[in-house]
Amino acid sequence: MVSILTSTIEARDSYTFGHSLRVEKMSARIGKLVGLRPNYIEIIQLAVRLHDLGKIGIPDSILLREGPLPDRDFQIIQKHPIIAEDIIKGTKALRFLLPFIKHHHERFDGYGYPDGLSGSDIPLGARIIAVADAIDAMLSDRPYRKALTVAETLLELKTHSGNHFDPQIVSQIENLHAIIKGLNFYSMDSSTVYIRGHDTVRHSIDTTHFKARKEDK
């Protein structure tokens, strides 16, 4: 069932295959670093394969757009975890994956989406996926910016530990190369890693948009 749904996502957005595979592998490696049991790691990996399932409900004009998204379009993109929840909740065999799929864009400080959960209220698996997802995004070469270097990516993780990311998870990542080793990255020089493709989901570490939204409630 997971394979069928994964194929559905890939048919809509070919970039998702490489992205989900990298995030799945990185999530598993991070899970081992923090001492998770193998069966829990396997659940996280299954969730990662479906974490972007909700994108099939996003219009092509937004999903496949190359370049930064305006706020109105980003608000539509933010609905993809809810769309995924609506698709999966009717399937009893997959409901156990929902907490990780629905909440992988929550932030440790509560300024994420869709529910604004914070700290330990965010399922641990979702917190791990959020870190892996962000690593993949930061190491991505986008039409509107070059990828960060490995060193810059690690610095961003540590700088935003405690607000964007779970500090206990980030504290376990001392060597980012061990997390990304062997994945489908394209080394351009000794310090920079690029991937080919485009993911329209904004993984901005700028809290301005989220603060404004939360304060308006």
Segment 14-50, tens digit of pLDDT: 656 678 889 999 999 999 999 999 999 999 999 999 9
State yes or no: pLDDT of 5 exceeds 70. yes
- Under the banding of pLDDT at 50, 70 and 90, the label for residue 4 is confident
Segment 144-159, tens digit of pLDDT: 678 889 999 999 999 9
Q: By the 8 A CB rule, do 49 and 1 touch?
A: no
Report in angstroms the alpha-carbon separations of 173 from 43, 112, 123, 158: 21, 22, 19, 9
Please give the pLDDT value at position 84. Answer: 93
**How is the chain split into domains, by residue range?**
2-207
pTM tops 0.85: no
Looking at domain 2-207, its CATH class is mainly alpha
Distance of CA 128 to the CA centre of its chain: 9
Q: By the 8 A CB rule, do 158 and 49 touch?
A: no
Segment 195-214, tens digit of pLDDT: 433 333 333 343 333 344 44
Q: What is the dihedral of CA 26, 186, 149, 44, to 10 degrees?
A: -10
Please give the pLDDT value at position 14. Answer: 60
Contacts 24+ apart (CB under 8 A), 169-172: 169/30, 169/34, 169/127, 169/128, 169/131, 170/131, 172/30, 172/33, 172/34
Average pLDDT of the residues in 169-176: 94
Please give the pLDDT value at position 28. Answer: 97
Segment 106-142, tens digit of pLDDT: 999 999 999 999 999 999 999 999 999 999 988 877 6
Find, among 203, 128, 141, 211, the residue nearest to 169 by Cα.
128
Question: CA 216, CA 206: separation in Å to the nearest integer?
Answer: 17
